[in-house]
Structure 1
């Protein structure tokens, strides 16, 4: 009896730690049946799967493990769909430790992970830059007699590319070719990423990028999108699965991303990261010769490259050309130019940034917390001048009830404190109050 009482008295945390209550599927009942029914948010596997799907949609991946713990405490046996929802969430949250925990739990439940589950695992390894673990997963698949598919090899290619392991990437390419599989646009994008991440940097990078972009245009046996029906149903795109830089934009409206430009997207992104104006211009010439127009994402990368390379006027001209063309535009175009203009916090750049944001606001473009926080963080680095750009961004976010990140609020607060502003200034008092509240809420974690 004492043993049972000790199990029934275990807390939720104890259950999570793997104690007997979890294994026996026992939840402690310290409230009435009616009260328990009110508190419980799911009673069967279908309802739990709905909860998991909701958390994935809200990007609240840190709660997935808690929901799974509750399933165990409720004595609800997870289904294969449950584990697929869990692995998708952990992939999006780059929670590799949780992913392998769920894999082990799946096998404990008598369910053998299928090829889709393993592909998600390899993708997580790529996000976490752990190609060794990704290769071990492939070996485990073979030992479990789970046959890899095209997605498996492309996931593995990108996992190795994330670490710049060109030797492994080319080995995978050779294996795919030997198996009669052609290379599609995602493979060539992976090759570009591999050369981008290789250390030390190679002198033939530009030539390699141009070569891969050209070769990506050639038809192959797997040229069509490799996403299977299950991935589509779960809302996982190829771009997200392979951790491409366009993954966050894939669901945007038409005109933002031209999906056949996958290799171009990766190439322009790499050129912008390296501030490589020459490569950017060459890629633009290639598109022009093909009589193709850059989409919004490519235009963003062109502006970013010019601004980061110190060619602000060219970045501004690219922006003006897009506006005057009458083509589709997006808030990200304005934000990209504003951020680029603020580099170095020159008087000219800060004024351009503020003017661009005014034009953005006049067009009623929505600026979410992420974009606003990045802009405020950048603008708050201004040490001289009137601090007008930072103040404008702050006021814009306050008007639309957008809450900045803690790091952005702290930077803005420090910028105000460094200036000769009276302690009873309404702006300073408001920022101080918000800063103190956020700091208390996140217990001093200023990286939120």
Structure 2
């Protein structure tokens, strides 16, 4: 077009910026945006949103902030899409305080979040131990006339499960089906994971079988949770049986992932090196995703294999995948299980420096590290920090605190 003296319309520029940003080519998207301005076009909010989306998808929050500042300088008001982009991005990356601020602005501007965004917000409350607030948000959503969808039901089921309200989680599951929403892989994963965590392995196995009958296979991270709970009780026959049932059901493409996870957990003992695991998956035509990397890290972390967990994190970075709070929590767990509490503390400091908000899992895992190191006074300090950060301690954290206080009382001879 340029060679024949023609110039794209402003909508063409906006489409190109959006396309480049969507596939992560943010430098080119920004270059096109600057060219558009130099040619005398005044970008509309649509063009700013397109650029903003690209920056947020890659976690480039400083550049995203500059886009917002430029919009303010040019008196270009953010629209609902702008706020939704920010809300989704902050929710996904665990930036708690930024999420609250954006949610407040949305309400002040008279915009209403979609059911998908509400499900993300419920997830944030869940991750920070505020499950009662999550239910308040569900009521607010219904008051605003937004009908719950599968995303919302999944968030509610996961929230109930995480805080041990298993009967309520199953009730929400049944209500979801009654409303005409078919369970998806997230639904089954939540039910299996939290029944495992609560020691209800028989019920978890029932849900696993129902899941397989529906043609779904568990998320690799959930599969690790399942086999680790069985492994702790020495039920290797059940692990092998579950794995064989899944193979008989015909899962092929992701079969190598499950095989590697069973192997890491000691069933076969071939894959003790993270890079070998990734190579084996690639040989089967599987490109490791963020979820698969977290599953591998989880398998290593639960056995205290710190070097391998760090190796997974480095492999993930080399693939250009953003390190999230889940991965960093797994790293804390690896150091905790290995009895290396100082390294666990350094990961917490890294989380804070990265602009992420530590959640209840971060703090309770760090408490476990100090408890194992017999640093019982530090267990109490971490618990206090968790509460001051607005996280509601879970059952395990409360039990650890009580046990730490009892030991301290015995040491000092008086009540702490």
Larger Rg: 1
Runs of 4+ with deviation above 6 angstroms? 331-335, 367-371, 376-379
SS in 2 for 1:48: helix
Measured on the aligned residues, the alpha-carbon RMSD in Å equals: 5.0
The answer for the alignment partner of 2:406 in structure 1 is none
User: Any idea what SS the aligned residue of 1:217 has?
Assistant: helix
TM value normalised by structure 2:
0.53
2:284 aligned partner = 327
Cα gap change, 1:262/1:76 in structure 2, threshold over 3 Å: closer, same or farther? farther
Question: How far is 1:289 from its partner?
Answer: 2.9
Q: How does 1:257-406 map to 2 (within 5 A)?
A: 261-263=216-218, 265-271=220-226, 273-274=228-229, 276=231, 278=236, 279-293=238-252, 294-306=254-266, 313=269, 315=271, 327-328=284-285, 340=300
CA gap 1:305/1:368 in 2 versus in 1, 3 angstroms: farther
Cα offset, 1:53, TM superposition:
0.8
Taking the aligned partners of 1:324 and 1:93, their CA distance within structure 2 comes to 27
Greater RCO (CA < 8 Å, at least 6 residues apart): 2
> Residue 369 of structure 1: CA displacement?
8.9
Q: 1:161 to 1:195 in 2, by over 3 A?
A: same
Change (3 A) 1:118 1:291: closer
Q: Deviations over 1:406-435 (max 9, x none)?
A: 97xxxxxxxxxxxxxxxxxxxxxxxxxxxx
**What is the TM-score of this pair, normalised by structure 1?**
0.50
Matches within 5 A, 1:111-126: 111-126=111-126
2:185·2:219 contact (CA, 8 Å) conserved in 1? Answer: no
Contact 1:52 1:64 in 2 (8 A): yes
Q: Which has the higher helix share?
A: 2
Structure 2 counterpart of 1:87 = 87
Does structure 2 retain, via aligned residues, the 8 Å contact 1:192–1:267?
yes
For the 8 Å contact 1:154–1:186, the answer to whether it is kept is yes
Aligned counterpart, 1:210: 205
Q: Is the 8 A contact 2:281 2:287 kept in 1?
A: no
Matches within 5 A, 1:34-433: 44-61=44-61, 67-68=67-68, 71-72=71-72, 74-198=74-198, 202=199, 204-205=200-201, 207-219=202-214, 261-263=216-218, 265-271=220-226, 273-274=228-229, 276=231, 278=236, 279-293=238-252, 294-306=254-266, 313=269, 315=271, 327-328=284-285, 340=300
Q: Which runs of 5+ in 2 are unaligned?
A: 1-36, 339-348, 351-416
CA contact (8 A) 2:84 2:113 kept: no
Please list the CA deviations of residues 203-249 of structure 1 after superposition, one character each: whole Å capped at 9, or x if unmatched.
x31x2222111112345xxxxxxxxxxxxxxxxxxxxxxxxxxxxxx
Q: How many residues were matched structurally?
A: 284
Shift of 1:91: 1.8
Partners of 2:88 and 2:321 lie apart in 1 by 24
Structure 1 residues 147 and 47: alpha-carbon distance in aligned structure 2, compared to 1, 3 A threshold: same
